[in-house]
Amino acid sequence: MNCPSGPGLYCGVYLAVGVNSPGWWGEGEFKFYLDGDSEFPTICGTGTEDYFGGAWDFDVPGDGYTTFSAPFIGLHQVLRPDGLYESQQRFGMYRWHVPDPIAFESALRVTVQDLGWHRDRRYLKRRDDIASTAFWYHRETACLPGRRLALDDLEVGSVP
C-alpha cells in the first residue's frame, strides 16, 4: 500500500495466500516503512504466522492447520485439498489494529515477504499467490484513486 503523503492510521489487513508448492510458507516478515524509511523499516515482524496470531505454523498437533477467530486476529479459512504441507492450499487471515493502530505522519508502505523453509532449516524464497487488502484512515482524500475502475480493469489473466 502506498499513500502519496500526509498523516494517517494503519488499521489492519486481510491476507489471502495461495500456496503453490509443498512446505511451510509463513516465515515472511511484515515490514512497515513509516515517514521516509527507505532501506530499513520502522517496524519489522518475525513472520507471517506470528503477525496473524498463529505462531508455530497455525498447527494443532494431530489436526494440522486449524482455523481460529478472535476479535482482532484470525485464520478463518483453510483449504487443504492435498494434505497438510502439499501444494494448492489456500489460507485467509485477518489482523485488525483497533487497539494498536500504526500512526504515520507523512507516508506509509507495508510489505510482506514470501518465505518458507528448506528441509535443512534455511529460508526458502517462495512463489506463492498473495493478495491483500489494507485498511487505514488518512486525513486527506489524496489516497483515493483518480478514477473508478471499470470491470475490464479488474479482469485477471486476460490476453490483449
Closest CA to 26 of 49, 54, 44, 46: 49
pTM of this structure? 0.79
Q: Which residue has the cell 505522519?
A: 105
Q: What is the CA radius of gyration of the chain?
A: 17
Average per-residue pLDDT for the chain: 83
Quick one: CATH architecture of 8-142?
Answer: Sandwich (2.60)
pLDDT in tens, 54-104: 877 787 777 778 888 899 999 988 887 766 556 688 899 999 999 999 999
Cβ contact 58:51 at 8 Å: no
